């Protein structure tokens, strides 16, 4: 006999958007909520550091979120959470079926909130899968290989991804046994994993299909990252494509064979849209919502990595894939469900990371991405220092802004700052990146930088005003 439950709010997904939505609903008086999660809740961005064990000595287990002990989450969240998978959701009858092992639970709800997240994506390379064909839907954790969603257990034994606690445990085990790892992809997770395994004593080769590492940076900024990798003995192969995975390495399109004990594919993620499609929701790049995070069905909300947003700077649909944005969306959806409506503010894409103490940040559009999308842009690049020149502890850095020129459509203004990039050696770029997140999101122009003041403290920064310098350099260009 199928067990039945009836709730006010049914949350699908236990990532940051789902967890924060549950917390917000509780604080707003909506206590009758049920959350379903397929995987252990983790802080995904911290997983590489659990593998490296330098910043998180306790390893991957320290990154798992214990719902019953979290000081922030409601005390009843563990009791009202089911480990399982939602296999069907009827948007009209407002009923869902949850599979938990061999059992099934029927859930009826007033409102549903989908936070299905994203799954790792691997290009359809020969040797990635174990060769055993299985057309059934994934029963365990999922990975998308090409256009097909498959169970991670089908990956070949030396193939890895990093999205869950189990992925981190496998890589932690690899670090104990291996001597050489290959990282395919050079985004934040790829390079953070490269550094983590390097910290564990492994020889590292990074393979990237693009002409330079770190796609959120333009080539002139990424060169600083490549230099740091080279200084640390990490071999970087750009403009290279993996065409086959073997038991002891990978074959490149160029014909070169790169040996390695394990291959980590850090080649991006794809939004998990399976349940949204079953529910008949409107989908473009991701799930389409309004500013209250309501989908095309008024009873269903969606938040997180599976949701597309209108880029604040250009209005173009994008998938930001940012956990802290998912939390804002979760609060917005919860507020609407609770009758305390908020509107999600416009946002853009962002990313911040560090590789061997070289810190980088990227907000909005790079020059390369803008030009691929046929946007007319110019740039201003500014050398910076972390301290004044008289201080030997000061190190070099670089800022770059991407500025719209005349002739763009979609309400883009001439002089509007569409993107910002920053590289700092040994210093956090967070404060500056957050300021430019607002500048880009609110469609400010270069002349409007004049209203942003810079604080100087000799022990923290040089006396130069970088906002004034950008403004003056733009006028001179």
pLDDT at 136: 59
Domain ranges of the chain: 3-38+84-117+272-337, 120-269, 357-476
- Top pLDDT among 208 and 66 is at 208
Q: Out of 6-10, 129-133, 466-470, pick the least confident.
A: 129-133
What does the alpha-carbon distance between residue 477 and residue 180 come to, in Å, rounded to a whole number?
47
Residues with Cβ < 8 Å from 307, sequence gap 6 or more? 271, 286, 287, 289, 293, 319, 329
Q: Judge contact between 447 and 434, C-beta under 8 A.
A: no
Q: Judge contact between 335 and 28, C-beta under 8 A.
A: yes
Tokens 């894939």, residue? 321
Residues 46-103 pLDDT 10s: 999 999 999 999 999 999 999 988 888 999 999 999 999 999 999 999 999 999 988 9
pLDDT at 471: 92
Nearest 5°: the CA angle 40, 46, 49 is 120
Spatial CA neighbour of 323 closest among 306, 343, 346, 337:
306
Sheet with 180-184: list strands edge to edge. 159-160, 262-265, 180-184, 203-207, 235-237
Residues 131-162 pLDDT 10s: 766 565 666 899 999 999 999 999 999 999 99
Positive/negative CA dihedral, 251, 217, 215, 352: positive
Q: Judge contact between 25 and 122, C-beta under 8 A.
A: no
What does the alpha-carbon distance between residue 432 and residue 399 come to, in Å, rounded to a whole number?
10
pLDDT at 137: 63
First to last CA, the chain: 74
Residues 242-261 pLDDT 10s: 999 999 999 999 999 999 99
| pLDDT for residue 302 is more than 90 | yes
Q: Judge contact between 248 and 261, C-beta under 8 A.
A: yes
For residue 276, what is the enclosing H or E element? helix 274-278
What does the alpha-carbon distance between residue 159 and residue 123 come to, in Å, rounded to a whole number?
12
Mean pLDDT of 156-169: 97
Give the CATH H-level superfamily of domain 357-476: FAD/NAD-linked reductase, C-terminal dimerisation domain (3.30.390.30)
Mean pLDDT of 262-269: 98
Is 3-38+84-117+272-337's fold the same as 120-269's?
yes
What does the alpha-carbon distance between residue 237 and residue 3 come to, in Å, rounded to a whole number?
54
pLDDT at 409: 87
| pLDDT for residue 477 is more than 80 | no
Residues 376-394 pLDDT 10s: 999 999 999 999 989 998 9
User: DSSP character for 137?
Assistant: P
What does the alpha-carbon distance between residue 437 and residue 421 come to, in Å, rounded to a whole number?
11
Percent of the chain's residues with pLDDT above 90? 91
Mean pLDDT of 291-314: 97
Spatial CA neighbour of 368 closest among 222, 473, 261, 242:
222
- Top pLDDT among 408 and 5 is at 5
- Return phi, psi of residue 306, to 5°: -85, 0
Within its chain, how far is the Cα of 434 from the centroid? 16
Per-residue pLDDT band for 2 (boundaries 50, 70, 90) equals confident
What does the alpha-carbon distance between residue 296 and residue 290 come to, in Å, rounded to a whole number?
8
| pLDDT for residue 346 is more than 90 | no
In this structure, the dihedral spanned by the alpha carbons of residues 129, 135, 141 and 145, taken in order and rounded to 10 degrees, is 40
Q: Judge contact between 437 and 417, C-beta under 8 A.
A: no
pLDDT at 11: 98
What does the alpha-carbon distance between residue 29 and residue 337 come to, in Å, rounded to a whole number?
11
What does the alpha-carbon distance between residue 171 and residue 151 come to, in Å, rounded to a whole number?
18
What does the alpha-carbon distance between residue 281 and residue 284 come to, in Å, rounded to a whole number?
10
- Does the structural domain 3-38+84-117+272-337 have CATH classification 3.50.50.60? yes
- The mean predicted confidence, pLDDT, of the chain is 95
| pLDDT for residue 273 is more than 80 | yes
What does the alpha-carbon distance between residue 139 and residue 121 come to, in Å, rounded to a whole number?
17
What does the alpha-carbon distance between residue 403 and residue 235 come to, in Å, rounded to a whole number?
34
The dihedral region occupied by 198, where left means phi > 0, alpha psi between -120 and 50, and beta the remainder, is alpha
Query: Domain 120-269 - what CATH class?
Result: alpha beta
């Amino acid at each position: 006999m199928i067990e039945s439950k009836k709730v006010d709010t049914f949350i699908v997904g236990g990532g940051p958007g789902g967890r924060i939505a549950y917390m917000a609903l509780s604080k707003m008086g909506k206590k009758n909520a049920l959350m379903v999660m397929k995987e252990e809740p983790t802080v995904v961005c911290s997983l590489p550091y659990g593998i490296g064990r330098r910043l998180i000595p306790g390893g991957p287990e320290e990154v798992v979120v214990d719902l019953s002990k979290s000081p922030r989450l409601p005390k009843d969240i563990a009791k009202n959470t089911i480990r399982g998978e939602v296999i069907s959701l009827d948007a009209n009858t407002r009923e869902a079926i949850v599979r938990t092992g061999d059992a099934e639970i029927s859930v009826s709800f007033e409102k549903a909130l989908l936070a299905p997240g994203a799954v790792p994506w691997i290009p359809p390379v020969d040797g990635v899968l174990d060769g055993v064909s299985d057309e059934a839907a994934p029963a365990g954790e999922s990975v998308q290989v090409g256009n097909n969603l498959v169970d991670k257990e089908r990956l070949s034994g030396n193939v890895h991804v990093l999205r869950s606690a189990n992925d981190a445990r496998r890589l932690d085990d690899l670090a104990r046994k291996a001597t050489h790892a290959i990282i395919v992809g050079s985004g934040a997770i790829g390079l953070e994993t490269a550094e983590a395994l390097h910290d564990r004593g492994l020889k590292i080769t990074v393979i990237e299909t693009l002409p330079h590492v770190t796609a959120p940076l333009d080539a002139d900024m990424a060169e600083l990252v490549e230099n740091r990798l080279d200084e640390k003995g990490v071999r970087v192969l750009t403009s290279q494509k993996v065409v086959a995975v073997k038991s002891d390495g990978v074959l490149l399109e160029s014909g070169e064979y790169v040996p390695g004990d394990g291959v980590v594919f850090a080649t991006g993620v794809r939004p998990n849209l399976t349940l949204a499609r079953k529910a008949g929701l409107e989908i473009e790049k991701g799930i389409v919502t309004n500013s209250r995070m309501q989908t095309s069905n008024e009873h269903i909300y969606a938040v997180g990595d599976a949701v597309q947003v209108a880029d604040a700077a250009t209005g173009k649909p994008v998938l930001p894939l940012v956990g802290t944005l998912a939390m804002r969306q979760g609060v917005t959806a919860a507020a609407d469900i609770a009758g305390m409506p908020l509107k999600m503010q416009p946002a853009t894409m962002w990313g911040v990371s560090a590789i061997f103490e070289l810190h980088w940040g990227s907000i909005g559009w790079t020059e390369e991405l803008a030009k691929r999308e046929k946007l007319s842009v110019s740039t201003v690049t500014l050398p910076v220092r972390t301290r004044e020149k008289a201080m030997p502890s000061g190190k070099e850095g670089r800022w770059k802004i991407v500025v719209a020129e005349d002739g763009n459509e979609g309400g883009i203004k001439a002089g509007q700052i569409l993107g910002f990039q920053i590289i700092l050696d040994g210093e956090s770029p967070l404060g500056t990146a957050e300021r430019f997140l607002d500048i880009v999101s609110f469609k400010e122009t270069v002349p409007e930088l004049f209203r942003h003041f810079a604080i100087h403290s000799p022990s923290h920064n040089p006396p130069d005003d970088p906002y004034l310098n950008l403004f003056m350099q733009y006028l001179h260009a």
